[in-house]
Every structure is written in structure tokens, then in C-alpha cells.
Structure 1
Amino acid sequence: MINSNRVLVVLYRYIPEVAPRVFRWGSIVDELTSQNIDVDVICAALPNTPEFEIIQKARVFRISPWFKGSYSLDQSRKKTNRPKRYKDFLFFKIFRKRVKKFLKRLPINSSLQKYGVNFYHKFISILSRVFNNLQLASDNIRRWIGSLSWPEYGMYWILPAFLKASQLIRQNEYSAVITVSWPVSPHVVGWLIHKTVAKKPNWIVDIGDPFSFNTTTPINDFNKFGKLNTRFERSLLKNATSISVTTCKTREDYINFLPGIESKIFEIPPLIPKAQNPIEPNLKNLLNDNNQKNKLIFTGSLRAKNRRPDVILYLFDQVLNDSELKEKLELHFYGDSKQCLDSFKPYKNIIDKKIYLHGIVEKSFIDQIINTADFLVNIGNVTENQLPSKTVEYISTNRPIINISSSKIDSSWEIISKTGIGINIYAKGVEEINESDISQLLNFIKNPPPPMVDETLKIIIEPYSIGVITNQYKNLIFKK
């Protein structure tokens, strides 16, 4: 072990991106630097952000992939402002404007004008078909390249990130290198460092989600890469100095996956963000603030495979049949819901009246928004070994929580059930909901549980506080 007061953190996403691991490590880095520990961060480059800057006293190096086209493989970073129709191109807008202006100059209803209009429409029809075919070909090529990328879309970032990390390790004395997933590419960088660099600081592998046995939301094609995934992850775990995971179930799964790592794999749970300032004025328009309304609020990303809103939408719609609650209730979704827009179609008549989709909102706003809720909605993951950080954030607000489980072993409900401020409704889909579920929710909304006393709340959330979490990582950083 190298004895120094400096740490290198390698992760794909970092501030100012919006992602759970970014929030977690942004807070931890801030806490480490406040304790006079020097932190360097290597992450992937972002458009319109500097290659180097100092954030929270940490030096941040943003590294570009060697293949620039790989940006389009990462769906979370895919440009949303690119033209989706031929009509959106500036060239076509100018062309159409000038053609229409020219046609208006021709004699009205003349054969020349009719010929010009007919030619214009035929040209547009051909242009539309060509554009659609080119776009389809582009999407197919992107999917094909993505299917060949290992471990995922970050493949083209690994080598430049490794070269930068190697340079920094030669120039500085680090007590530890911490590689963070998800995605898995930073762990490949760490593995290359461990295998090739002469200086060998402690290597901490921080795992957000399992890799080689995560069949619910696989990050690559398991048919092609399943064996390679398993071999790499086993080598990763063997060579790491320490391994950190967020739940006890994940730790057990990894011990079963590779017996013998019991002494170096640790559970470091999700993190509760620091207390936020009072609600900012420019946040008010997001809240639809009305004292006469009872707001049910969900925050986070909806996912087609493992976090669908179908059950809570159906339950909410049924609860609206109650005359006492019909005019009082609103259901708000803050976060990315694009993957599940089809779930909202049956309720289009009450969208923007009773159900509100606010889209992605800044993290600082989210932390304040959940403190305005009358009820918080948590949709548990299909996977049994993941505990969303949002769950402990919800608990820290001491507000009533409606938990929707699609798995009998739900890590979210396991902790919420200890608080006495939540209910759990188990249903894999709308077809499994029965009258007792609707009655249970009705009764919960009409008669919400009292909040926990301060002492109980403090005891429950203490393990998830920034001070406790950071100290657990410090024990691994300076491990001898």
C-alpha cells in the first residue's frame, strides 16, 4: 500500500450529469475533500463542458473516447435535438420557403403553376422516403456497433481513460484507486491499471449493479458475451483489494458467485443527500402548489423492464372513484418517463388534470420536491439485490410512503416496513390487483400513519448519512 492522502476515482459519469451514482460520488468526493483528502476524478467527456476543471476542490479530468461515434451508443447521452424528420432540417426549411414564394409568383391556376406544385409534392415524397431509409440504416448500424461493444458503450473510452489514469499514477502518490460502476467500463480501466502499472495503490471496486449475472437489465448481449462477462468479473473480484456493494443481498450473491472473497467485500448502503435549503422561487411552478390538493409524488426514472408505473396508475385511477378523494388527489411524476409513455395512454383524459408528467428535473429541485409531498410513491425494482437510493431519501422525509412491489423479496419494502410510515402493495401487473389492494390504499390515504418520532428517525437513517458512508470508504482507502 502507498501511504498518501490522495485518491483517484474513475467513473463514467460525473457532475453535472444526472444519475444516482453521480449524486452519490459527488457527495462523497465533497466530504473527502472537506477532510483535506485530495481527490482526482476521471470521467467521460461531455459536450460543452471543459476537459479539466476543479469541482468541490477535486480535480476533474473529462476524457473523450477514441471513437467519437460511440456517444450515440449511450442512450442516456444520445442527442435529443438532432432532426427527426426531413422537415426539421434548416436546408429544407429554406428550400420550401423559396419554392412556395416562387410558385406564388406564377399565374394562378396556370398549367405552369400546376406543374410546379405537382413536381414539388413528388420531390417532397421522394425526399421523405430517402430520409426515412437513411435514418433506419443509421439506427441499424448504431445497434449493430452497440451489439459488438464490450463491456458496453463505454468500450471506446477505456483506453484513453486508462492512459490518463496511468499518467496520473506516475505523477502522484495515491492511497487508492476507486473504480465505480454503472457502466462497467471504469472497472476495466482499474483492471488494466492493476495489471500494468508498477505502483499498486489499493484498488476499490465499487459496484452499483451486478454485471455478469444481471439478467433482468443486461448491459450487453449475454448470448455473445456471457462467458467473457463471467471470466472478467471473477478476475476483477480476485484482483481487487476491496469490493463495495449497496445491499446485503448483493454481497451474498457475489460470495456465492466467487467463494473466498468474504473478507474483502463490504456492504456500503445508499446515501441520503444533505438537507436542502427552503424551496426556491423558480421551483414553485413545478409544484402545482395547492393546499387543497393531496399530492402523491414519484421521483426517478421509469423503466420498461424493471420499473413500470402501470400498477400505481391503475390504483390511482380506482381511488379517484371515491367521492371524498376525487377532487383532492393528484399524482406527479418527476423524472425520465419516456420508456413507459404507453402506460399513460389509458389515462390520457386525466393527464395534466390529475396525473402530471414533469420530466427530468435538477437534483437540487428533486430533494426539495419530495418534501412537499403528502404521499411518496416508490416503485420497487424487479431485481431483488438492488436498493434504490431514493428509498432511503423518502424515509428521511418522514412522509407516508406507498410502495409498489413486483417481487416477493423487495429490498425497498424491507427497509420501509421498519418505519411504520408505509404500506406495501404487491402486484406484478394490473391483472393481479384486487379489491383489497384498492381498499388498503384508500384507507392509507384517508388515514395516513403518524410520522416517526425524531429519535426513531435518526436511528433509522444514521447508517445512510454522508458521514457514516464516507468513513466506510475511508476505511477501505487507507486499508493496510
Structure 2
Amino acid sequence: MNKKKILIVTYGFYPEISPRSFRATELAKEFVRQGHEVTVVAPAKVGLEKFLSEYAVDFIDIGEVTWKVPVLRSNSSIAQLFNRVMVRLSSLWFEYPLIQLKGKVSKALKKLKGFDLLISVAVPYPIHWGVSSVWNKKGDGNPAKTWVADCGDPYMGQENDTFSPPFYFAWLEKSFCRKADYLSLPTENSYIGYYPEFHNKIVVIPQGFKFEEYRINETKRNENKLIFGYGGMFIPGRRDPREFLEFLVSLENEFDFEFHVYTSSPQYVESFAQRSKRIKLFPVIDRLELMDRFSTMDFLVNFTNVGKAQTPSKLIDYAILGKPIINIETGNLNNELVLEFLTKNYSNSIVIPNPEQYRIENVCSQFLSLTD
């Protein structure tokens, strides 16, 4: 095997629970397993020591974001409203405070040389912008021979936020797209979120996981009670659970079921969980522990995104578990489909094609092929 020097630049990394953290962490683990020399540039999170004791990764800590949005120190309703507006507008208009990552990444990369492959992982996109600020298209003095900008959700072409980024961020978007050798996207449909002039740089490399790490829980439970679950965040008006939850609550006396929700946005579920014992609300937990719990359930729930440019990575986890999956579309709830699943009729379950493509071994091979 030809040993490579690989540099991964990311904001999310172990033990953070997020799709982009999973992306960077799983890549680092598998590259090390394959015998490559791996360096990760990221903010160090509490608990990282456990990972570094198991995997021979050279970790460069760029520190957490320290810039703060100016807010009012008051609990009044006016102050709280002002603070929410300030946080939202600072992020939307200036990508603040995450724009600080651009300088942090740039500073770290100026000291690094001699890598075969650099993979920068976004979101947030200031990670790509930081790499772009030190990258020379002529190749002189770059940290690596090949740069792959790995993109999750699109930036300028996003479809699932309430507001689109201001027009002036197009300059930063186009700048990193021009300089990167490749833009890696998780699904084939994601390309529509990027400027056509860069479509020739796009390669599709899905999210990847180590299948053998998944545990199938064989614990016996009450087979008469239907249990199904969802894990992930919600977006009001986009990936919104309220219509579905309202319908479930209306059926609580007709069916013996429990819907288990694991989310970092509990505000969209709390009122329903208070109204009905059928709705069980839980905080976010470790991904493998969540999959262990999901493996005991009858089926799993996916809330679809708006448009086709963004695909939930949780579908990969669901596919590996081999559980039936119900698709819930915000604003267009299919009541008959929900009733089918509640009666254990899974004939209209989502089918995830070719699950083998999500093996991390195959995903890493795709990245390595870009260095040939």
C-alpha cells in the first residue's frame, strides 16, 4: 500500500455529535486503520483525549471561536427579542462569529507542508475560506498536493434555511471553488446547490461509517406496543415535526405506540410530549448508542428536506440498521401512509439503494483515488 500524508481541516470533530463531525472523525479513523499518516486541524473538544489514545492522529488545536455577538444582559422580553435578532442577523449578514475560523485555519495551514491530500470539511464554510486564503492555484507552497473541499449542505445554494445568504458571499464561495481541485458532495442531487461553472470539479462521495461498529440490540420487549423513533434537529417550516406530531396525538387512543424523539431542538416537540404519553422526548446522545436503541424499534422516521440539494445523512444509519423508514414531508402529511406504518404495513418504506457505498473503507478509497 502506498502510504499517504493526509490533512483534515474541520470545525466538528470527536466527540461532537453532528453529521460533519461524524464525517471528519470517521475519515480520520479509517485512514489511520489503513496505515496512512493523518493530521487533523480543528478546535479540541472535551473528551478528545480518548480518541487520540486509540488512533495515531496528529491533532492541531486551533481553539474555539472566541468572538461574541453583542447582546443585552437582561431577561426582559424586549431584550430577549433583541438578542435573538442580533444573533440571527450577525450570522446571516456577516457569518459572525464563525467567520473567525477563516483566520484560525489560515494561520494553522501556513505552518504545514508536504501533505498528499487536504480534505477540508464544511459546514461551517469559513473552513473552506480559510484554506482558500493560503492556497495557490499554481501549487507553490501549498500545504498539500491535492485539495478536496468536502461540502455537506450548500452555502449560497442552500434550500432549507429561512433566509438565503446575502449576495456578497458569492465572492467567497466562488473563490474557494476556483482554487479547490475537487468539490466532494454526499449525494448526486447535491450538485444543484453549486454554481454551474464548477460542476466539472464535483465528485460524489457519500457519508461513510464502519458497519462493524453497529450493534444490533436483541433485547426482548412488548411486541404489542409499536415503537418508532427519530434522531436529529428540526427546522421550522422546512423539516418540521408539528403536523406529524399533531396527527399522532389524535390517534393515541386508537393505537398502542410510542414515538421516541432525540433532538437538539426540543422546542418543537415539548408541547406534544406534555400532552401525550405517546410522545417521548430525549436529548441528543452518542450516535452508536442511538443506533443501538433504534435497532430495537419497529420503524424509523425521516423528515424530508425542502428541494433536492440536501439529503439527511441519518438515512445512511437507518439503511445500515435495515429498518423500515417512513418519509414525512412538511406541509404535505400523508395520513394514509402514517396509518399504514402504525398497522405494521411497511410496503411503502423508503428503499436506500446500494448500502455498501456507505462503508467507510469504500469512502476513503474514493478520496484516495483523487490523489492519483
Which category of TM-score, normalised to the shorter sequence, fits these structures? 0.7 to 0.9
Count of residue correspondences: 364
Match of 2:283 among 351, 356, 359: 359
| 2:319 counterpart SS class | helix
Instruction: Check whether the contact 1:297–1:373 (CA below 8 A) recurs between aligned residues.
Output: yes
RMSD: 3.6
Cross-structure match for 2:196: 258
Cross-structure match for 2:83: 139
Distance 1:252 1:347, change over 3 A: closer
Cross-structure match for 1:95: none
Q: Deviations over 1:365-396 (max 9, x none)?
A: 11211111111111111242111111122122
How far is 1:227 from its partner? 2.7
Whether 2:245 is the aligned partner of 1:313: answer: yes
Q: Deviations over 1:159-183 (max 9, x none)?
A: 23221222122xxx10121111000
Match of 2:179 among 239, 245, 248: 239
CA distance in 1 between partners of 2:322 and 2:77 (Å): 53
Distance 1:331 1:4, change over 3 A: closer
Match of 1:446 among 323, 327, 343: 343
CA distance in 2 between partners of 1:69 and 1:36 (Å): 38
Instruction: Check whether the contact 1:178–1:205 (CA below 8 A) recurs between aligned residues.
Output: yes
How far is 1:188 from its partner? 1.0
* Structure 2: runs of 5+ lacking an equivalent: none
Instruction: Check whether the contact 1:296–1:330 (CA below 8 A) recurs between aligned residues.
Output: yes
Q: Which amino acid aligns with 1:312?
A: F
Instruction: Check whether the contact 1:12–1:44 (CA below 8 A) recurs between aligned residues.
Output: yes
Q: Deviations over 1:47-100 (max 9, x none)?
A: 6867x95662211222125x7244x79xxxxxxxxxxxxxxxxxxxxxxxxxxx
| 1:243 counterpart SS class | strand
Cross-structure match for 1:127: none
Instruction: Check whether the contact 2:226–2:258 (CA below 8 A) recurs between aligned residues.
Output: yes
Cross-structure match for 2:124: 183
How far is 1:291 from its partner? 4.0
Cross-structure match for 1:372: 296
Distance 1:54 1:202, change over 3 A: farther
Distance 1:214 1:279, change over 3 A: closer
Q: Which amino acid aligns with 2:240?
A: R
* Structure 1: runs of 5+ lacking an equivalent: 74-129, 407-427
Cross-structure match for 1:14: 13
Instruction: Normalising by structure 2, report the TM-score.
Output: 0.84
CA distance in 2 between partners of 1:231 and 1:451 (Å): 44
CA distance in 1 between partners of 2:88 and 2:236 (Å): 22
Cross-structure match for 1:333: 261
Which protein has the bigger helix share? Answer: 1
| 1:167 counterpart SS class | coil
Instruction: Check whether the contact 2:259–2:278 (CA below 8 A) recurs between aligned residues.
Output: yes
| 2:7 counterpart SS class | strand
Which stretch has the larger CA shift, 358-367 or 309-318? 309-318
How far is 1:213 from its partner? 2.3
Match of 1:349 among 275, 279, 283: 275
CA distance in 1 between partners of 2:242 and 2:40 (Å): 39
CA distance in 2 between partners of 1:140 and 1:321 (Å): 39
Q: Deviations over 1:190-244 (max 9, x none)?
A: 10120498323211111111111225327x873xxx2321122112111111110
Q: Which amino acid aligns with 2:329?
A: S
Instruction: Check whether the contact 2:211–2:320 (CA below 8 A) recurs between aligned residues.
Output: no
| 2:110 counterpart SS class | helix
Instruction: Check whether the contact 1:5–1:175 (CA below 8 A) recurs between aligned residues.
Output: yes
Q: Deviations over 1:112-132 (max 9, x none)?
A: xxxxxxxxxxxxxxxxxx853
Match of 1:268 among 179, 186, 205: 205
* Equivalent runs, 1:146-161 vs 2, <5 Å: 146-147=90-91, 150-161=94-105
CA distance in 1 between partners of 2:298 and 2:110 (Å): 51
Aligned-residue sequence identity (percent) comes to 22
Q: Which amino acid aligns with 1:466?
A: I
Q: Which amino acid aligns with 1:460?
A: N
Instruction: Check whether the contact 1:303–1:339 (CA below 8 A) recurs between aligned residues.
Output: no
Whether 2:29 is the aligned partner of 1:37: answer: no
Match of 2:134 among 160, 180, 193: 193
* Equivalent runs, 1:166-177 vs 2, <5 Å: 166-169=110-113, 173-177=114-118
Q: Which amino acid aligns with 2:290?
A: I
Q: Deviations over 1:261-302 (max 9, x none)?
A: 343211112334523465789xx9xx9x54442101111122
How far is 1:42 from its partner? 0.7
| 2:211 counterpart SS class | coil
Whether 2:210 is the aligned partner of 1:302: answer: no
Q: Deviations over 1:436-457 (max 9, x none)?
A: x4344323332434899xxx98
Q: Deviations over 1:338-380 (max 9, x none)?
A: 3424xx4256331xx2110011111121121111111111111
Instruction: Normalising by structure 1, report the TM-score.
Output: 0.67
Distance 1:141 1:211, change over 3 A: closer
CA distance in 2 between partners of 1:141 and 1:444 (Å): 40
Instruction: Check whether the contact 1:399–1:451 (CA below 8 A) recurs between aligned residues.
Output: no
Cross-structure match for 2:56: 57
CA distance in 2 between partners of 1:263 and 1:386 (Å): 19
Instruction: Check whether the contact 2:119–2:150 (CA below 8 A) recurs between aligned residues.
Output: yes
* Equivalent runs, 1:62-81 vs 2, <5 Å: 62-64=61-63, 68-70=66-68
Cross-structure match for 2:170: 230
CA distance in 2 between partners of 1:354 and 1:469 (Å): 39
| 2:60 counterpart SS class | strand
CA distance in 2 between partners of 1:380 and 1:26 (Å): 25
How far is 1:189 from its partner? 1.3
